[in-house]
Amino acid sequence: MSRRGKGPRPLLYDYDEVKGRALFMDNRRKVVITGLGKGSVEGFVKSESRKGKYHRTTIRLDRNRIAGGTCTCESVSFYGEPCKHMLKLRNSAVWIGIA
């Protein structure tokens, strides 16, 4: 079957795969932070278009600004970074005071 015009298929994760890795999870389970490093945050951000699925997202921060990163969504492949998942991860990290 052809996927013409659809772009690459994203790598998605289920909530059951994500919850055991959580260091922090917001009360709506939209952002799950799984790792922290010096100037970096990694985690999973819930997909808005695919019910119950998460994108794996990693960001590098420089003074609370995204300096680079990766995400398993299609937007990064088509438009570059940062995607909305990177922004949500950064916002959560800043909100809880770890970035």
Provide the pLDDT for residue 63: 87
User: Which stretches does DSSP call E strand in the chain?
Assistant: 13-14, 24-25, 31-37, 40-46, 53-62, 65-71
- The whole-angstrom separation of Cα 59 and Cα 36 is 10
Could you report the per-residue pLDDT of 29-42, keeping only the tens digit for each? 999 999 998 899 99
Q: Is the pLDDT of residue 25 over 90?
A: yes
Domain ranges in the chain?
Answer: 13-95
Q: Quick check: 32 and 19 in contact, CB under 8 A?
A: yes
pTM of the predicted structure, to 2 decimals: 0.85
Could you report the per-residue pLDDT of 38-92, keeping only the tens digit for each? 899 999 999 998 999 999 999 999 988 999 999 999 888 788 778 999 999 999 9
Q: How many CB atoms lie within 10 A of CB 86?
A: 25
- The whole-angstrom separation of Cα 28 and Cα 84 is 17
